Amino acid sequence: MRIALGSDHGGFHLKQAIKEYLDSRGIINHDFGTYDAGAVDYPDYARAVAEAVARGEYDRGILCCGTGIGVCIAANKVPGIRAALCHDTFSARAAREHNDANILTLGGRVVGPGLALEIVATWLDAEFSGGRHARRVAKISAIEDVYSCRKGQGGKEG
């Protein structure tokens, strides 16, 4: 599995801990930044990671900011992305099994590294259940198709 990683300054330390964890498991990952704790704008990093996942260059992405909310909102603007903010393992598993979430977001100011790494492990190891959930995820994609300005402009259908 190939993972795209990114954060703003609020999620920087958590992103570093997640990178160490991925490395320890031998999971291929690329860090799209930020690379220090200086203040930056979270949409820039969310966009880079989300676009890389949407292009298929990475299987999934993990994004951190202070709350996990900003990067989640921004990533979900990219067609094909289903980003889920999870601060518990039940949600992390369901995000994969029910929602086929291809990006996990976390708040570095909300959860400590111990819980965060359990959430990451749960999300990494869970798979999409398909079946009735596939029908529902397809309906999410249908909404995206209606509102995506890329449709018919060299994007998905181009």
Residues assigned a catalytic role: 65, 98
- Of 43-51, 65-73, 78-86, 90-98, which part binds ligand RB5 (CB under 6 A)? 65-73
User: Which part of the chain contacts ligand RB5 (CB under 6 A), choosing from 62-70, 79-87, 113-121, 141-149?
Assistant: 62-70
Tell me: is residue 9 an annotated ligand-binding position. yes
| Among the listed residues 12, 21, 32, 42, the single contact to ligand RB5 using CB under 6 A | 42
Is the separation of the CB atoms in 72 and 95 below 8 Å? no
Query: Rounded CA gap, 32 and 45, in Å?
Result: 7
**Which residue in 67, 76, 99, 102 binds ligand RB5 (CB under 6 A)?**
67
From 3, 6, 10, 45, residue interacting with ligand RB5 (rule: CB under 6 A): 10
Question: Would you count residue 45 as binding ligand RB5 (CB under 6 A)?
Answer: no
- Kindly indicate which of the ranges 12-20, 26-34, 67-75, 141-149 contains the residues binding ligand RB5, using the contact rule CB under 6 A: 67-75
> What is the distance between the alpha carbons of residues 120 and 88, in angstroms, rounded to a whole number?
10
Count residues near ligand RB5 (CB under 6 A).
8
Distance, in Å, from the CA atom of 51 to the CA atom of 53, rounded to the nearest integer, reads 5
Cβ-contact 1, 29 below 8 angstroms: no
Interhelix angle 113-125/89-97, rounded to 10 degrees, is 20
Q: What is the 3-state secondary structure (H, E, C) of 72-119?
A: HHHHCCCCCCCEEECCCHHHHHHHHHCCCCCEEEEECCCCCHHHHHHH
Give the footprint of ligand RB5 on this chain (CB under 6 A): 8, 10, 42, 65-67, 69-70
Annotated binding site for D-ribulose 5-phosphate: 8-9, 66-70, 99, 109, 132, 136
